[in-house]
Amino acid sequence: MLSSLTNLLLFSSLITTTLSTSAVTTRYWDCCKPSCSWPNKAQVSEPVRTCNKNDLWPSNGVDPNAVSTCDGGDAYACSNMEPWAVNENLAEWDWCCACYELTFTSTSLAGKKIIVQITNTGGDLSPNHFDLAMPGAGFDGAWVGNQYGGYTDRNQCYLLPEGMIRDGCLFRFDWFMNADNPSVEWREVSCPKGLVERSGCGRWS
């Protein structure tokens, strides 16, 4: 049984779920170290990778015990945790490091699918809830856009650094059609190679 979870939007989806196949979605981006980056969270190949303030993996390897930047440390969520589109109808985003296929059932996204990998957990979410990590999506006191919802216009994405962070923000307005908290049907799936390569984390079957 799954409970009290959150994810990697693409990756990062924060998810809280019970044994139901219907769920709600929201979005966030806080740059904090994902909770699945800590050791011994689950039987996985390795914890989710983190980056330094320059968005690089440390040359001496990633320390799973490094403190999150949100608690005064130097471990950040890597920018490659942003979402990307495989084609017009399927995107890979993606309990710790498990993957789920979400099929949108409302808004302009109805019928589209996305695969997310769980990289974070959150106790403040309602049951059956995926919180998708998207740059520019806002989070609590985050400076990027509104506290809840983040940026409101595609052009605001160009305020972000060029590269994956900006691309992830544009994804929200392009492939994701700026949909506001769409509902989904979900099922667990095998993790695509592309997600595992980005997070560094795969589940043992």
Please choose, from the candidates 86, 38, 76, the residue with its C-alpha nearest in 3D space to the C-alpha of residue 201: 38
Strands 22-28 and 90-92: unpaired
Strands 6-8 and 12-16: antiparallel
Residues pairing with 51 in the sheet? 76
Choose the catalytic residue: 30, 71, 124, 167: 30
Could you confirm whether 55 is annotated as catalytic? no
Could you confirm whether 140 is annotated as catalytic? no
Choose the catalytic residue: 131, 153, 167, 180: 131
Residues pairing with 188 in the sheet? 100
Helix (H) or strand (E) holding 198: helix 193-199
As given in the structure block, the two tokens for residue 12 are 């990062």
* Residues that are catalytic: 30, 131
